[in-house]
A = this chain, B = another copy of it.
Amino acid sequence: MSVAFAIAARDGAARRGRLTTAHGTVETPAFMPVGTAAAVKAMRPEDVAQAGFAMILANTYHLMLRPGAERVASLGGLHRFMNWPGPILTDSGGFQVLSLAKLRQISEDGVVFQSHLDGSRHELSPERAIEIQRLLGADITMVLDECTAFPATGNEARQSMERSMRWAERCKHAFRDSGGYGLFGINQGGVHADLRLASAKALTDIGFDGYAIGGLAVGEGQAAMFAVLDATVPTLPDDKPHYLMGVGKPDDLLGAVIRGVDLFDCVVPTRSGRTAQAFTRFGTVNLRNARHLDDKRPLDQGCDCPACTLYSRAYLHHLARAGEILASMLLTHHNLRYYARLMEQMRAAIEAGRLAELGNHLTRDWARGDIEPR
A318 to chain B, nearest CB (A): 5
Known: A67-B318, A75-B294. Contact between A43 and B312, CB under 8 A?
A: no
Task: Give, as a whole number of angstroms, the nearest-CB distance from A54 to chain B.
Answer: 19
B residues less than 8 Å from A306 (CB atoms): 44
Contacting B at CB under 8 A, from A43-70, are 43-44, 62, 66-67
CB-defined contacts of A329 to chain B, threshold 8 Å: 42, 44, 325, 329
Q: A66–B318 contact, CB under 8 A?
A: yes
Stretch at the interface among A24-32, A33-41, A96-104: A33-41
* CB-CB under 8 A for A325 and B328, given A311-B83, A314-B67: yes
B81–A326 CB distance below 8 A: no
The contact string, 1 if C-beta is below 8 Å from chain B, for chain A 246-269, is: 000000000000000000000000
Q: Please tell me if the beta carbons of B42 and A314 are within 8 angstroms of each other in the complex.
A: no
Contacts of A274 in B (CB 8 A): 325
CB of A178 within 8 A of chain B? no
A116 at the interface (CB under 8 A from B): no
Kindly list chain B residues whose C-beta atoms are within 8 Å of the C-beta of A310. 83
Query: Taking the complex as formed, is A293 at the interface, i.e. its CB lies under 8 A from any CB of chain B?
Result: yes
Which one of B71, B314, B321 lies within 8 Å of A294 (CB-CB)?
B71
- A82/B315 contact (C-beta < 8 A), A325-B328, A326-B44, A329-B329 known: yes
Distance in Å from the Cβ of A219 to the closest Cβ of chain B? 27
Partner of A41, one of B37, B67, B326: B326
* Candidates B38, B74, B83, B322; contact of A318 at CB < 8 Å: B38
Q: Roughly how many angstroms separate A312 CA and B80 CA in the complex, as a whole number?
A: 9
CB distance from A331 to the nearest CB of B (A): 12
Chain A 321-345 interface 0/1 with B at a Cβ cutoff of 8 Å (1 = within): 1101110111000000000000000
Q: Does residue A176 face the partner (Cβ distance < 8 Å to B)?
A: no
A interface residues (Cβ-Cβ under 8 A, vs B) = 37-39, 41-44, 62, 66-67, 71, 74-76, 81-83, 274, 293-294, 296, 306, 310-312, 314-315, 318-319, 321-322, 324-326, 328-330
Task: List, sorted by A's number, 25 A–B pairs whose CB atoms are closer than 8 Å.
Answer: A37-B318, A37-B319, A38-B315, A39-B324, A42-B325, A42-B329, A43-B326, A44-B306, A44-B329, A44-B330, A62-B322, A67-B293, A67-B314, A67-B318, A71-B294, A74-B294, A75-B315, A76-B296, A81-B312, A83-B310, A83-B311, A274-B325, A325-B328, A325-B329, A329-B329
